[in-house]
Amino acid sequence: MGFFLEKKCLFSGVSGRLVDKGSPISNVELHRKAEYREKLYEDSVITDEDGYFRFESMWARPLVDDIDQFVVHQYITAMVGEKEILVWRGGKLEPQEFSEVGYKVEDAICDVNDEAKPMKSSVKTNGIVISICTFN
């Protein structure tokens, strides 16, 4: 019998390409934040020469289990020139990996000129994500 709680996924892995009207944007820092139980978890990546980026899943192992509801607020932003772009804003209500929208988000196209809109989610999830990213 273990004394440690299971790890919880605060932000599932995301990969994609940052573009400006279809042209890749290189060397841009994307900053990711997850707010869980009044604590801020942060990391960042930089787009490569073709605008590609990849965030691995972000995990935490709480010392005390959630009393009522697991809730994480999620954000990804990018500074493009002098403008901060909101790439992703979400609410995660289940601790399982990929429960934000019910599937793995990879090879997304994130155009800084697009308006953020709700991402399609599977019927198995109750989270919500607003993003400039689209994918097939």
CATH code of the domain covering residue 62: 2.60.40
State pTM to two decimals.
Answer: 0.91
Instruction: Give the residue from 74, 80, 73 showing the smallest Cα distance to 29.
Output: 80
Look at residue 3 and tell me if it is in a domain: no
Residues 7-32 pLDDT 10s: 999 999 999 999 999 999 999 999 99
What single DSSP character describes residue 98? Answer: T
17 lies in some domain = yes
- CA torsion through residues 84, 125, 73, 33, sign: negative
Q: What is the bridge-based pairing of β-strands 39-46 and 29-36?
A: antiparallel
* Residue range 32-51, pLDDT digits in tens: 999 998 899 999 999 999 99
Total number of domains in the chain: 1
